[in-house]
Amino acid sequence: MAGRIPEEFINEVRSNVNIVDIISQYVSLEKKGKDYIGLCPFHQEKTPSFTVNEEKQFFKCFGCGKGGNVFKFLMYKDNLTFPESVERVAEFAHIAMPQGYGNNDGSKMNPLMRMHKDAAEFYHRVLLTTKAGERGMQYAQKRQLDQKVLDHFNIGYAPKEDNVLITYLRGKGYQDDELQKSGLFVESKDGRLFDRFRDRLMFPLDNENGRTIGFSGRRISDDKTEAKYMNSPETSIFTKSKVLFHFAEAKKAARSEQHLILYEGYMDVIAAYKAGISSGIASMGTSLTDDQIYLLRRVTTNIIINYDGDPPGIHAEERAARMFNKAGNFNLGIVVLPDNLDPDEYVKKYGAEKYQNEVNGAKTPTEFFLERLAKKYNLNNDREKITYLDEAVKEIAQVRNPVERDMYIEQLARNAQVSSASLKANLARELRRNNRAKSHMRQQSNYSAPTPSTDEMQPSFESAETATIQQTAGQRHPRQVRLLYLFIHSQQAQKYLQEGNFHFPDKDFEELAQLWIKYKETHDNPQIDGFLDFIPEQLQGIIVDAEMANMPKDFTIQEINEYVQSLQKRNIYSRLNELNNQLQDAMRKQDRDECLRLTQKIIELKRVLG
């Protein structure tokens, strides 16, 4: 089951990590009782159903059903094989792979990811060490990108020639059909491939695990007929709407900085990094997407938006803030820099310390919206002032926290020089209107349409959030799960069941019982998390369900007998149903002998039932 890696090493790796620490790199976990919960990284959901049990070192999503140990998590999340996941966990635990094992050459990596890794290293080396890269280095120095920044962001340079990268990658053994799918090249009409990126400073675009999956090339020439930035096209490994620049590194920094900061461009993230902020991220030159918001929410709910200070940047900030508010459950801050400056320009003009102060003084979304609203009206004109106050009250009515609403009403009253009581009366009216609208929406959603006829029925598809949760093994076979749990965790229960010649009715449970016996015979210190790696994948869910059910280990023989008798009765009823069907068939065929034989068997089974 463990491939070529020695099982002793696998056990050592597993015992030297905490599954909570590994999963926390992907999901923001909150402790609830003995478990940790968070938003599932495998499907989108609004209410957390993803659970991690630290004591047993298992995870389970009660929404989509995925579960397992630390190796299984990485296999699901990063699409790894079992040996690859062992190596990844070993790397996290700072344990060297045994001699002759491992995958350090990346040969088993997805070919496109391996190609992008090679391309990123090539571009970086060209920039730092070659004569061809001097032009790129001059531009980097002009933008005040020092060695530390170039190394941290793995920035490189694509030379002017159109065949430099393709020659290099062909030399490393890549075939043209792979190169064609990578997005790194363009194809001429006669089928020849040429480098897509030429004479550009290259920014690798990584997935959330830090693996390069695309590039963004910054034009360094003054030729404005060319796009300032050129991004990789979408490929099988790169979807712009699901990627955030610098996310893999930023989410590590979010643990210490306590937030993520969303910027408009790569140079803003880099400027923030130079100012001592490592939690900066940026979208891929596109508007913020719901997928990116969900990606952020899995890491932290503390988000600060700092787009450019010019009108388009502020408008984009407003749109992003609305999206975060709609998603809900975010602690959002908004930074608006003065003089239409973007973060890169601000840091260069005022320095890192003043920029840090701007971030620390981020406004709440309501503050930001009210300030934006005030600029739309002439507040010296009574008619416009009344309109502004009505709009401001509607904005405040969106705030869920009543204390926060009261605070903004008082501020609005002071600034507008009107009584807070009158504004509160307007607010109460607006809240009632909102509640009526919500109630109407609920009634509409609860309305049951007439059931369509069979001919009208069409296949329907539900999102993971609304789909009916599939029953777990524990829900389908609770008695067998309990007996299997005792069979594994109690030598006394196992011996009692074996002496009674008990066999699990379900073949999967019976196979697990036999595998546990074999596992115990071949392991000095059998542990349930190690057993999970020993058994076939299709059986692992039963073990995870049993372990995550938090069953008591204590039991009585009477409890076991009740479960066994119940299962035996269930088997008898199942057999009786089968015999009755056979009897009906024999009667239809007028087979007297078969009818007599089946009737006798039915009578015998009914006697057993009493």
Q: Which residues 6+ apart lie within 8 Å of 180 measured at CB?
A: 187, 193
CATH number at residue 42: 3.90.580.10
According to the model, what pLDDT value does residue 453 have? 35
Tell me the pLDDT tens digit for each residue of 565-586.
888 777 777 777 777 888 888 7
CA distance readout (Å), 365 to 208, 318, 323, 539, 541: 27, 8, 11, 49, 44
User: For 356-386, what is the HEC assignment?
Assistant: HHHHHCCECHHHHHHHHHHCCCCCCCHHHHH
Q: Per-10-residue mean pLDDT for the chain, 610 residues long?
A: 71 90 89 91 89 92 90 88 88 82 57 94 97 96 94 96 95 93 94 95 92 95 90 93 93 90 93 94 83 89 93 91 89 93 91 92 93 91 93 91 92 91 92 82 53 34 40 72 91 91 88 92 86 87 87 88 82 75 82 84 73
Going by C-alpha positions, the residue among 329, 256, 271, 345 that lies closest to residue 296 is 329
CATH number at residue 268: 3.40.1360.10
Tell me the pLDDT tens digit for each residue of 422-481.
999 999 998 998 888 777 666 655 544 343 333 333 333 233 443 444 556 656 788 889
Tell me the pLDDT tens digit for each residue of 396-424.
998 888 999 999 999 999 988 999 999 99
According to the model, what pLDDT value does residue 456 have? 32
Question: What is the b/e burial string over 20-58, where b = at least 16 CB atoms within 10 angstroms of the residue's CB?
Answer: bebbbebbbbeeeeebbbbbbbebbbeebbbbbbeebbb
Task: List, in sequence order, every residue forming a beta bridge with 280; answer none if it has no partner.
Answer: 261
pTM of the model: 0.69
Question: 464 lies in a domain?
Answer: no
Q: How far, in Å, CA of 478 to CA of 483, rounded?
A: 9
Q: How far, in Å, CA of 546 to CA of 75, rounded?
A: 21
Question: 527 lies in a domain?
Answer: yes
According to the model, what pLDDT value does residue 578 have? 79
In a shared domain, residues 202 and 265: no
Number of H-type helices and E-type strands within the chain: 27, 16
SS3 assignment, position 143:
coil
At residue 60, what is the residue type? Answer: K
Q: What percent of the chain has pLDDT over 70?
A: 91
And the tokens for 214?
A: 């695309």
According to the model, what pLDDT value does residue 436 have? 84
Going by C-alpha positions, the residue among 50, 57, 55 that lies closest to residue 14 is 57
Range of the domain at 278: 246-325+337-349
According to the model, what pLDDT value does residue 448 have? 42
CA distance readout (Å), 569 to 377, 562, 583, 607: 79, 11, 21, 12
**Are 183 and 169 a contacting pair, CB within 8 Å?**
no
Mean pLDDT of the chain: 86
In a shared domain, residues 574 and 547: no
User: For 27-59, what is the HEC assignment?
Assistant: CCCEEECCEEEECCCCCCCCCCCEEEECCCCEE
Tell me the pLDDT tens digit for each residue of 368-398.
999 999 999 998 899 999 999 999 999 999 8
Question: 467 lies in a domain?
Answer: no
Q: How far, in Å, CA of 546 to CA of 544, rounded?
A: 5
Domain end residue (candidates: 91, 124, 150)? 91
Domain end residue (candidates: 520, 535, 554)? 554
CATH number at residue 150: 3.90.980.10
Task: Please name the residue that has the structure tokens 């029953």.
Answer: 471
In a shared domain, residues 130 and 212: yes
Q: How far, in Å, CA of 371 to CA of 365, rounded?
A: 10
Domain count, the chain: 6
Q: What percent of the chain has pLDDT over 90?
A: 51
In a shared domain, residues 483 and 525: yes
In a shared domain, residues 134 and 218: yes
CA distance readout (Å), 93 to 10, 12, 58: 12, 10, 18
**Are 331 and 301 a contacting pair, CB within 8 Å?**
yes
